[in-house]
Each structure stands twice: as C-alpha cells, then as structure tokens.
Chains A and B, each alone.
Chain A
Amino acid sequence: DAGVTQSPTHLIKTRGQHVTLRCSPISGHKSVSWYQQVLGQGPQFIFQYYEKEERGRGNFPDRFSARQFPNYSSELNVNALLLGDSALYLCASSSPTANYGYTFGSGTRLTVV
C-alpha cells in the first residue's frame, strides 16, 4: 500500500506569492493533518481535517488555509508568503482503526526568497 504522498517535494517561491501544497492520505484514512517544521525545530500543528471538516487549527495566521476533498486528499494554501514561511511542510494521515498511528509523508520543502 502507498503511504502518505505529498507534492511537490521541493519548491521555491518569492515573497508575496501564494503556494498550494498537496497531500494524499493512506487509503482508508479519513483524517489529514498539516504541520510546519522550521529548520532545527519540532513540527508545529497547523490544521486537522476529518471528513472534509476542519477539526483543529494551530496558532497560524489567516494566510494559511486548507481543505479536504471527497477522496480525503488535502491542500494547504499559504498566501502572501513571507521569508519566515520557509520550512518543511508535513502531512499526516490517521484513522481510529489504525489506532491513531499518525503516518507522515516525506514533506514539501518550501523556500521563500
């Protein structure tokens, strides 16, 4: 079975631009979470979605938004990019039947210049 897949793996954007990151969960997982990992730090929670509804939001500005689609894949959108948004963005999927073993993708490395 495929794991959590994220695209793209790397991208470079200019300050002020917007970006869309994509995530496909493990088949059968209905919950997707997004995390931001700045270099040298642990991941920080951004959003969780379950059955297309937002179930949790971390302490991030409104420039960050997300959504989940009927096939449970998800997008994370960031508007008006700042240099400080440069980070590894991780997606995780989980399922109660998987006993909440959150499975992470390999991430998208975003560099803002």
Chain B
Amino acid sequence: AQSVTQPDIHITVSEGASLELRCNYSYGATPYLFWYVQSPGQGLQLLLKYFSGDTLVQGIKGFEAEFKRSQSSFNLRKPSVHWSDAAEYFCAVGALSGNTGKLIFGQGTTLQVKP
C-alpha cells in the first residue's frame, strides 16, 4: 500500500538550532517526493520537491531534503531555525504520469520554535 509516515508528531527546537524532520514512504513505483509547510488557517506552501537526479534537493527558506532510496526516506533539514519556521510540515509522495497524479500526505509534524 502507498503511504507516508512522519514519525514525529511534534518537535520543539530552539531558535538557531538545526532541524531534521523525518519522512518515510512506501510506494511501488518511482516516487515523486514533496515537502509542504502550512501555517495556521492557511493553505500549503511547497518547500521543495524531488523527481530525479541529485538526491540532495534545495528548497525555499533555507530548507533542504535528501532522498535515500535504500531507506525509503526523504528527510527535511535546516541548519538554523528561525522563529518564523514554526508551522505544520507535511511530506507527500506521488506518481505523476502525463497529466494525472495524486499526492499522498503524511500526518504532519508540528514544529515549535523556542526563543
């Protein structure tokens, strides 16, 4: 079955500390992988995506993610967290063929940033 697991429901880090959010997926085909961020009451903003090529992907707001096929993981990292990064983070996987495709999301990780 296709699924995405985000093992950490809630993470608290201090401002300026490094961050890693975990994402594991189960997908039969070659996966397309995404990380989205959602502020309270808002829609989803795309941070980065991986389709192929270099397994280390750079995104917006200083985020990066590394695709590890052997571990079925796509963890999100940031070297120094800012208070404005406090939000809900979602990992998603999808298969895109032609003009069709759907995303399967994890349950999300809530990031709290301590001053």
Contact = CB atoms under 8 A, between A and B. Distances in A.
Q: Do A and B bind each other?
A: yes
Interface of A: 4, 30-31, 33, 35, 40-45, 48, 50-51, 55-56, 58, 90, 92, 94, 96, 99-107, 109
Interface residues of B, number: 27
Nearest to B96: A100
Contacts of A107: 42-43
Nearest to B36: A104
Given A41-B107, A42-B107, A103 B46 contact: yes
Given A48-B100, A55-B99, A90-B43, 8 more contacts: A4-B43, A42-B90, A56-B100, A96-B98, A101-B49, A104-B44, A105-B43, A106-B43
Interface string B73-115: 0000000000000000010101010111111111110000000
A44 to B, nearest CB: 8
A106 B34 CA distance: 18
A96 B100 CA distance: 10
Contact of A45 (B51, B104, B106): B104
